[in-house]
């Protein structure tokens, strides 16, 4: 597709369940970002990849959060043992190279019950 | 550290009236400034950005913003709004990182409601 694609669009998880959120960036985009947007808040930075290298993971809230981009294209954000406070929209964005405009996907809305 | 303040959580305005959405930022270093728009059930879309140069920046859909360094503000304006402008607007500040990417901090958003 032409834009950043995220799947699933909606995910309901029971507390304690592991989840995996997928991001397909725009083809050829070098940079990839993950953001977390809680209800009523702005997006908050989680992590950044340049190709397959995870250069910054300072925004990951706990060691239950893990992100990977093994071949420098598709990325997966994994959350282990989900908690209610993990409920949020998770946004993925990609950009063609460093310090250029990032294009956002529609996000995955995660609800932990 | 950098931060963004959007004081107005909601702004109602009549169709064809002008609107200003306020944004103030703080940062100890030079930054880039952005406005994004988020329509219901859609991703964030870049409206405009200030990197350097002219302080008046024009974006898509007739929006513009003015960078005011002394007041650390980057207010968004449109002279005449349409119903289709109803959306949530996020101000953001980006700092070039030594890793060659922008680490962006978003405000909490302002919901613009255009009233027919």
* Ranges A63-67, B27-31, B90-94: which has the least confidence: B27-31
> How does residue B102 score in pLDDT terms, banded at 50, 70 and 90?
low
Alpha helices in chain B (DSSP H): none
Q: How confident is the model at residue B97 (pLDDT cuts 50, 70, 90)?
A: low
Q: What is the mean pLDDT of residues B10-34?
A: 92
Confidence tier at B111 by pLDDT (50, 70, 90): very high
The two tokens of residue A58 are 């300072």
Question: pLDDT tens across A92-103, in order?
Answer: 999 887 767 788
Tallying the residues shown for chain A, one arrives at 113
Chain-centroid distance of CA A81 in Å reads 17
Q: Who among B43, B101, B106 is closest to A42 (CB)?
A: B106
Structure tokens at B16: 């064809």
Q: Which two tokens stand for residue A92?
A: 């993925």
**What's chain B's average pLDDT?**
90
Q: What is the dihedral of CA B83, B41, A1, A8, to 10 degrees?
A: -170
Q: Are A47 and A33 in contact (CB under 8 A)?
A: yes
Q: What is the pLDDT of residue A8?
A: 97
Interface check for A31 against chain B (CB to CB < 8 A): the answer is yes
Predicted local confidence at residue B1, as pLDDT: 75
A20 in reach of chain B (CB within 8 A): no
Angstroms from A79 CA to nearest CA on chain B: 21
pLDDT tier for residue B101 given thresholds of 50, 70 and 90: low
């Amino acid at each position: 597709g032409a834009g950043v694609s995220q799947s699933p669009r909606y995910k309901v998880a029971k507390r304690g369940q592991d989840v995996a959120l997928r991001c397909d960036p725009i083809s050829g985009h070098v940079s990839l970002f993950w953001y977390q947007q809680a209800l009523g808040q702005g997006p908050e930075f989680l992590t950044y990849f340049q190709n397959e290298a995870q250069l910054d993971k300072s925004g990951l809230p706990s060691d239950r959060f893990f992100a990977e981009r093994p071949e420098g294209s598709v990325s997966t954000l994994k959350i282990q043992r989900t908690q209610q406070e993990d409920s949020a929209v998770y946004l993925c964005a990609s950009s063609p190279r460093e310090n250029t405009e990032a294009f956002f996907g529609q996000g995955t809305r995660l609800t932990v019950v | 550290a950098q931060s963004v303040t959007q004081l107005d959580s909601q702004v109602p305005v009549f169709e064809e009236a002008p609107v200003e959405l306020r944004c103030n930022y703080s940062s100890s270093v030079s930054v880039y400034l952005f406005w994004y728009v988020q329509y219901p059930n859609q991703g964030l879309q870049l409206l405009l950005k200030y990197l350097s140069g002219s302080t008046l920046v024009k974006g898509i859909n007739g929006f513009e913003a003015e960078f005011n360094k002394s007041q650390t503000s980057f207010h968004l304006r449109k002279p005449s709004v349409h119903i289709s402008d109803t959306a949530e607007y996020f101000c953001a500040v980006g700092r070039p990182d030594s890793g060659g990417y922008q680490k962006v901090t978003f405000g909490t958003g302002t919901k613009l409601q255009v009233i027919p």
